[in-house]
Structure 1
């Protein structure tokens, strides 16, 4: 029974050690450890581990992770919001506003 009680702290310490090694590796080589995490701006492997460890103890974290994954897959267009046609062009100093009747005005 005591072996099971020691598993969680050992797992957390191994995860912290992995995070330190990964950060050192990225600083030395400039690239991630795994081939699909080679970009500097990508999510570090240790962050994924911390998220999964937290999700094991918090149900709301699991929901947040699933929502984040869905948002990555969904496509976002400028026309998805409401009101769709209001734009501001800062380069020209012009604002385009759509009237409720549907005809664009200036």
Structure 2
């Protein structure tokens, strides 16, 4: 009997934001030490003193840290980040359970 390994990420978007962050680091957009400092500051600001299990709380903080780097480095305007966040929220709220989430323009 083969045992199926547990997925490394709870949700597809967790894997996607992780992969995007790694790809941006590998492309030289920011140093990993800069990422670690920004992510650590985000966790501290959010007051996440409990042990994180890699779920939504952890990856929401991860996304917030990535957005901070995008703004601070001038890679994306704050208004563009907020617009994209709103578009994603509208898309996932209107997507039937089990279906892939798609942005209206894409």
TM-score (norm 1): 0.31
- Greater relative contact order (CA < 8 Å, ≥ 6 in sequence): 2
TM-score, normalised to structure 2, is: 0.31
Larger radius of gyration, structure 1 or 2? 1
